[in-house]
Structure 1
Amino acid sequence: MSPSPRSPHRRRPRTSVALAGAAALLATGLQTGLASAAPTDQSRGGEHAKIHATPRAGGAPARLSPAAHAALLKSATAAAGPTAELLALGPREKLVVKDVEKDADGTTHTRYERTYAGLPVLGGDLVVHQKDGLTTVSETAASRIEIPTTATRVTSSTAARTALTVAAKDDARHPALDGTPRRVVWAAAQKPVPAWESVVGGTQDDGTPSELHVITDATSGKTLFDYQAVRTGTGTGQYSGTVPLGTTPSGSVYQLVDGDRAGHRTYDLNQGTSGTGTLFTDDNDVWGDGTQSDRQTAGVDVAYGAAATWDYYKDVFGRDGIRNDGVAAYSRAHYGNNYVNAFWSDSCFCMTYGDGAGNAHPLTALDVAAHEMSHGVTAATAGLAYSGESGGLNEATSDIFAAAVEFHADLPADPPDYLVGEKIDINGDGTPLRYMDQPSKDGASRDYWDSSLGGVDVHYSSGPANHFFYLLSEGSGAKTVNGVSYDSPTYDGVPVTGIGIENAQRIWYRALTTYMTSSTDYAGARTATLQAAADLFGAYSDTYLAVAAAWAAIHVGDRIAPGVNVAPIDDQISGVGQQVSLRTSAYTTHSGAGLTYTATGLPDGLTIDDTGLISGVPTTLGTSAVTVTVTDTTGASVSVAFTWRVANVFANGTRVDIPDAGAAVESPIVITGQPGNASATTQVYVKIVHTYRGDLTVSLVGPDGTVYSLLNHSGGSADNVDQTFTVDASAQPVTGTWKLRVQDTAAYDVGYIQQWQLTP
């Protein structure tokens, strides 16, 4: 059975984590493109060539002892108050230290959560970066949170009932509230609001334990967001072969307790679904026999998976355990009956594995173990919310590090690859769960980003990020790695050269732990990885340019060519006699080179200055073909072209309140003395402040009464309308009364028309 994300009216886009049957899986706006001085050729050196670079030592994580890490936490906690003042947070806001990381060059990265009037702020997390007295911030919400009141109109019991209803719609089994709802401030949307956070226990529809978090608006009662805290995975077999284990003698027996890795313990749940079960023991320290008839075999694979994941993070990044605090998680094998899944839980800080169909195929493959435990690393760092685009990035992060752990372990019995769950054969046909080189080969995952990605189940919206990582590691086109054939396409058909998984994993890890926050989307991930590449390899280095190229190859942003790069400029419409200010965005990859700006075809009254700012007051009606050229001091030059229309622009900036679920309201613009009819490309700019824009219908009414629909309950749960619409109003005379008509057709959400403009 294939999962399908649901987005019913009155709810934020969301996805379900618990997946069942043969399709079970391991558990907006883009960056503007750039016009470049020259096309980037990332294919030099042949189809198997890679860009080789050595990371800067100063940008690598410092290897801290537990005591040194604790000292950093203590120091950051003491500085939380002054830091809040430095960031100009409000008087009711406080910072709470979640973690501190330090680079080899002394730079610190302090990850904070936030409270407002004593309430936890969900989506208020931020990272403060400090080096040589300079402070920068990576943040999720606005740097300052202000809400009129934290009082609640909706009661705790109502929020609880709402949460149980959400769980029931997810086909949860025996849903039950885990404690009482807690008051919070929800800040992951455009406008922070007081809310209730409820946690629903029970089990998901495939038998996985449930920790469903439901966020309910404490004023309107609508569901704002929900996500699963238990991240799930799947599998039906394990073939790690003969591997070393860390064990501990106890009297006359040996225990599956790994003293070299903080005492990680592996338990046999004996088909139970709660508690820890029985610690695995053996009388001669020779564990399992490679067959399912010996219960120790699953324990061997579980313990090895935990050890290999611990070693990977320790050896490559100096990370001391999942939380980087030297504390081991624990693992539980033989969970439930016929449970075809595995999962990580933050609440128990443990990994759990089912035995699969007929209790005959334990879900203990190395990439399954690494995938699930990497969810714990994500929770301890960026905390990517498990829904929408951030949820897809969360899943992709686990796939990425699962592949990286395989390459690090380099098991003869499980050669490293860019396939997910290839040992499991969940579909019974020898195919893996997911393909990182071309995710769509699984029949559901996306290869490339588009604006609908946030509404796709997170296991499928992870596809573009997995694709990015494969392209960054290995490059595009046909090739064979460790006996596996790949053929990775790109969105625009332009080839990409890889940098090797060793450097690709370092870039993703630094981006995750240093720059990403809980609501990072794909555009934000591009920004984070580019910053990470700049830290490790230098801005505009070959490696940096390769990161941009790999993102462009999945339709996120554009390639960066050596030399001058200029952001494209959209076609412009300005009112005659109205002030204009338009800045050209450009930079050069040539270190220290300056830029000069020139423009041809500007409308009368406009000029461009030496910073790229176009300003002035247009004086003449008409349309011009404009070309802006940017040149750096090395002689590299690039131009962008666009049209600039100077027209009569008419506006109404009087506020008109929109009644909740009431009659339509209108805002008029009266035009006099203008001959002829309107254009077939009449522009209507609308700015409406209103929560849940899906409640609205918005129309333009012409002078003769003709109604042109602009917005018809579209946009779902997003807030506000700030958009320009184009209509064919050529049958309408320009002179007359034009009206913007708006109606709210559903209860709870309210707002107002702030302004609108008409360019006939």
Structure 2
Amino acid sequence: MSTAAVVATATAAALVAGMTTGSASAAPTARELGAQSVKLSPSQRVELMHSANATTARAAKTLGLGAQEKLVVKDVIKDVDGTVHTRYDRTYAGLPVLGGDLVVHQAKDGKVKDVTKSTKAAIKVASLTPKVAPKAAQSSALKAAKAVTGDKAASDKAPRKVIWAAKGTPVLAYETVVGGFQKDGTPNQMHVITDADTGKKIFEYQGIENGAGTSEYSGKVELGTSKEGSGYSLTDKGRGGHQTLNLDHGQSGEGKLFTNDTDKWGDGKPSNPETAAVDAAYGAQVTWDYYKNVHGRDGIKGDGKGATSRVHYGNGYVNAFWDDSCFCMTYGDGEGDKKPLTEIDVAAHEMSHGVTSATANLEYSGESGGLNEGTSDIFGTAVEFNAKNAEDPGDYLMGEKIDINGDGTPLRYMDKPSKDGQSADYWSPEVGNMDVHYSSGVANHWFYLASEGSGAKEINGVKYDSPTKDGKKVEGIGRDKAEKIWFKALTTYMTSNTDYKGAREASLKAAGDLYGKDSKEYKGVDAAWAGVNVK
């Protein structure tokens, strides 16, 4: 069978742990236009998915997968030049293969150009019968989770059998999802992987990815709302039906949809419950518009469906998080319930966790976890610039208005991440052992260098001075190009266990697709990686 048969030719992270001068660019070249993704309608995307699903058996055979392996279509992206990128999850003997995801890149003529795999190992295990009982694995997983999240963790779901293939030789394993709450009150979804033969913990990662009205941070804004009987609700039908809900300081449940009689929302003061809702709804609105207008993505999953935003979580909760299970963002009100974590870049950060989950699904641990967090910071920053809000202009500071440190300093700095006292400026072998909110510094620093270059400068009234590991000067390629390169790298070339070396390779492939391997953009991306010690 020819490789042309592979694909049909029809083709929750918490936010915290515990006009730039270089952005303007010339009109897109033919190469850049060809490598950009097509703006698919939800129905067009469904058609591509159906076409890909119809050929999964042939695809598995052509790729040389074993008889017990099957492919499951997760996402399909089509470029303007006709190239189709089909992302698959994998099963073995009916069991999910964690770390077995792959992406097939097929040219317009049906020829397979390349395949990106999260693992090169053959998926095969000696036996599908575990030696360790599920209850023993569950008990072990709960103990491991409590060591990280505290005594509020609770396991109420039986483990599921999986094949663990993210690192080393694939093994039969159990995946236990431990619920309850983390130490700071954030909901807990700790995924613990244990060897089904020995009961030994193999891996763990956190599933919760922290992460016209008058707003507190963005001034007076126009909102997408809906007429409901004689009143109105914060339901944005123009953006997939996104809703903004009030948890009223609860820590569970869906919350209550915000409604009023006047369609005038909030007063800019945190004491008014509607104010935080305005910021959250506006943040979701500008994030939706950014992904659609800049990257051609219709919603978080690309399916035209809006997420939900929940505000007023808990009491004095100084965090925000994304949860895939409810497809929602959740915001605390900050210290003393006076500084809700609903600033534009924070909202965009949380929603971008959903984009990552729907595409590369970077595991929220180790270097891939740092890349996951860094991706949300990168697009949170991009959305803030793109929104062009006079009250909250774009900058390379994360959460600068929410005063999470209590001294007026931002949560994170992209030009020199270590200014927060904990984040990494450069890659080192120890980066993978850091909390993902601090290992993300390498990705954030790369993005700043790729966008603006190294050295001292002032952008939108903010002064920056970005160093490089080797002391060499880096010339920025412009933020708009860096954004497009990172988005393409994320959605077409990264997989669940991509590390920093893999991210460099993915971004260089994306830069080559968009601008050519001999372009200044390609060289700029490479120089920025060298600047953060990823070579």
Answer yes or no: is the 8 Å Cα contact 1:98–1:111 preserved in 2. yes
**Among candidates 446, 456, 469, match of residue 434 of structure 2:** 456
Structure with a larger share of its residues in helix: 2
Q: Is the alpha carbon distance of 1:522 and 1:238 closer, same or farther for their aligned partners in structure 2, counting shifts above 3 Å?
A: farther
**Among candidates 160, 166, 176, match of residue 188 of structure 1:** 166
**Partner SS for 2:503:** helix
**Among candidates 97, 110, 113, match of residue 133 of structure 1:** 110
For this pair of structures, how many residues does the alignment match? 515
Does 1:121 pair with 2:97? yes
Answer yes or no: is the 8 Å Cα contact 1:238–1:423 preserved in 2. no
What is residue 282 of structure 2 aligned with on the other side? 304
Answer yes or no: is the 8 Å Cα contact 1:182–1:198 preserved in 2. yes
Amino acid across the alignment from 1:71: E
Q: Deviations over 1:100-122 (max 9, x none)?
A: 11001111101000001111000
Answer yes or no: is the 8 Å Cα contact 2:334–2:404 preserved in 1. no
**How far does residue 344 in structure 1 lie from its aligned partner after superposition?**
0.5
Determine the C-alpha separation between the residues in 1 that align with 2:156 and 2:309.
23
**How far does residue 361 in structure 1 lie from its aligned partner after superposition?**
1.9
User: Runs (4+) of structure 1 moved beyond 6 Å?
Assistant: 47-51
What is residue 87 of structure 2 aligned with on the other side? 111
**Among candidates 317, 328, 336, match of residue 339 of structure 1:** 317
Answer yes or no: is the 8 Å Cα contact 1:89–1:143 preserved in 2. no
Amino acid across the alignment from 1:541: S
**Among candidates 308, 314, 318, match of residue 292 of structure 2:** 314
What is residue 25 of structure 1 aligned with on the other side? 16
Determine the C-alpha separation between the residues in 1 that align with 2:314 and 2:421.
29
**Among candidates 246, 271, 274, match of residue 252 of structure 2:** 274
Q: Deviations over 1:516-573 (max 9, x none)?
A: 000000110010000000110011211111111110111111xxxxxxxxxxxxxxxx
**Among candidates 540, 545, 552, match of residue 523 of structure 2:** 545
**How far does residue 364 in structure 1 lie from its aligned partner after superposition?**
0.8
**How far does residue 148 in structure 1 lie from its aligned partner after superposition?**
1.4
Q: Is the alpha carbon distance of 1:48 and 1:280 closer, same or farther for their aligned partners in structure 2, counting shifts above 3 Å?
A: closer
Answer yes or no: is the 8 Å Cα contact 1:301–1:365 preserved in 2. yes
**Structure 1 residues not aligned, in runs of 5+:** 1-15, 19-23, 28-46, 558-760
Greater relative contact order (CA < 8 Å, ≥ 6 in sequence): 2
Amino acid across the alignment from 1:196: Y
**Among candidates 272, 295, 298, match of residue 294 of structure 1:** 272
Determine the C-alpha separation between the residues in 2 that align with 1:298 and 1:321.
22
What is residue 147 of structure 2 aligned with on the other side? 169
What is residue 9 of structure 2 aligned with on the other side? none
Does 1:515 pair with 2:493? yes
**Partner SS for 2:152:** strand
**Among candidates 35, 42, 51, match of residue 75 of structure 1:** 51
What is residue 76 of structure 2 aligned with on the other side? 100
Does 1:219 pair with 2:197? yes
**How far does residue 293 in structure 1 lie from its aligned partner after superposition?**
2.1
Aligned pairs for 1:577-726 within 5 A: none
What is residue 263 of structure 1 aligned with on the other side? 241
Determine the C-alpha separation between the residues in 2 that align with 1:288 and 1:327.
26
Amino acid across the alignment from 2:292: K
Does 1:473 pair with 2:451? yes
Answer yes or no: is the 8 Å Cα contact 1:508–1:529 preserved in 2. yes
Determine the C-alpha separation between the residues in 2 that align with 1:483 and 1:26.
29
Answer yes or no: is the 8 Å Cα contact 2:301–2:355 preserved in 1. yes
Alignment RMSD (CA, Å)? 1.7
**Partner SS for 2:43:** helix
**Structure 2 residues not aligned, in runs of 5+:** 1-11
Answer yes or no: is the 8 Å Cα contact 1:163–1:198 preserved in 2. yes
Amino acid across the alignment from 2:110: G
Determine the C-alpha separation between the residues in 2 that align with 1:324 and 1:78.
20
What is residue 505 of structure 2 aligned with on the other side? 527
**Partner SS for 1:197:** strand
**How far does residue 143 in structure 1 lie from its aligned partner after superposition?**
5.8
TM-score (norm 1): 0.66
Does 1:145 pair with 2:123? yes
| Aligned residues with identical type, % of pairs | 59
Answer yes or no: is the 8 Å Cα contact 1:393–1:462 preserved in 2. yes
Structure possessing the higher radius of gyration over alpha carbons: 1
Answer yes or no: is the 8 Å Cα contact 2:121–2:169 preserved in 1. no
**How far does residue 26 in structure 1 lie from its aligned partner after superposition?**
6.7
**Among candidates 178, 187, 192, match of residue 209 of structure 1:** 187
Determine the C-alpha separation between the residues in 1 that align with 2:357 and 2:422.
26
Q: Deviations over 1:340-393 (max 9, x none)?
A: 111100000011111112222211111110001100000000000001110000
Answer yes or no: is the 8 Å Cα contact 1:269–1:335 preserved in 2. yes
Amino acid across the alignment from 2:89: E
TM-score (norm 2): 0.94
**Among candidates 214, 218, 230, match of residue 208 of structure 2:** 230
Does 1:359 pair with 2:350? no
Q: Deviations over 1:7-26 (max 9, x none)?
A: xxxxxxxxx976xxxxx827
